[in-house]
Structure 1
Amino acid sequence: MHWLELLVELALMPLVAFVIGLLMVLMMRRIAARLQRRIGPPLLQPLYDIVKLFGKHTQTSHGLLHEFGIVMAVGGYVAAETLLPVPGMNGIAEKGGMITLLYLTMIPSLGLALGVGQCANPNGSIGISRALTAMLAYDIPFVVVIAGVAMHFGTTNLVDVVAQQQAGGIEAWGVTQMPLLALAG
């Protein structure tokens, strides 16, 4: 793979993830509105919310560790996203595996804990302790799912797992062979 092509893929993958994330938030809000017998938000409402958020001028810095914690949280999600294999754009997904993805998904919670630790707000400390407890609660099933998928497919490389799933069709996804892991995941 040429280095320029890799650079373009690494630049486009967070943008693709951002757009897909906006669409998923919109879909979630529309479904919740329909369940409550409301119309729901317009198509570009998540984008309007982001523009409104960045338009506010009341941002206060609580020090260097606070800023570093926020960068660490966002960076963990972006790094984890670049490891996900997207058809036609594998990026650096071939270099990492499921275990690397597991560690990268832990970074945002730790970054938020670092950022909140710099603030003097007791509510922030309570919130981050709950978030870290939740991280432990969902990491144990995630590790079990990763171990089961790795044993089923014989590899921890995400690109190989996706290739095996695409080659075998819907039966090769592993949902019918491992229904408890599918529920835990």
Structure 2
Amino acid sequence: MSQDLMNYDQMTQLALRGVVRDAIRRVIREDGLPGAHHFYITFLTRYPGVEIDETLAKKYPEEITIVLEHQFWDLNAYADEFEVTLKFGGIPKYLKVPYLAISRFHDPSVGFALQFDPPSEMDPIASGAAELRAVKDTDRPSPAIAAQTETTATDKAETKKSGKKKAKSDKASEGDASDETANVVSLDAFRKK
């Protein structure tokens, strides 16, 4: 068999990352996740271009899984990255994630899952960022509501009352991060009954 000079594996990986981008854009267009859909997105916390709160980066030095389900704020999807604000321990945290940093994407409501090959190097250019960036990004989406990894009943009630709730990245509360505890919380606790 001949050597693959077309790099089909890399092209497939980039195309599947485009599926993740398109799924996030659809959530934005539809002002939330349709039906029972929700996303588990696992990404490398130290990948170039990832913006994550330092306390989260220390707690999750390799990778972290976030959940977009009922509450999230400031969700935007661009050609080569997405950004979102989620609450961790009740504190809003801004995240910026290049699609190339994503290692897994899962929508358990329909049994859809993608697992990506780890980048051969921690260099976005070497791992295909230039090709992904070349995809035209014509529409800059607006913020939408979604889910979070940790929440309280109060947050849920406020969100239901207001319909939409915006959270700001609270960089001043980084010092309050020491109040966070390492509680393991079942994701089933946040699902609608």
TM-score range, shorter chain: under 0.3
Bigger helix fraction: 1
- TM, length-normalised to structure 1: 0.25
- Structure with higher RCO (Cα < 8 A, 6+ apart): 2
- TM, length-normalised to structure 2: 0.24
Structure number with bigger Rg: 1
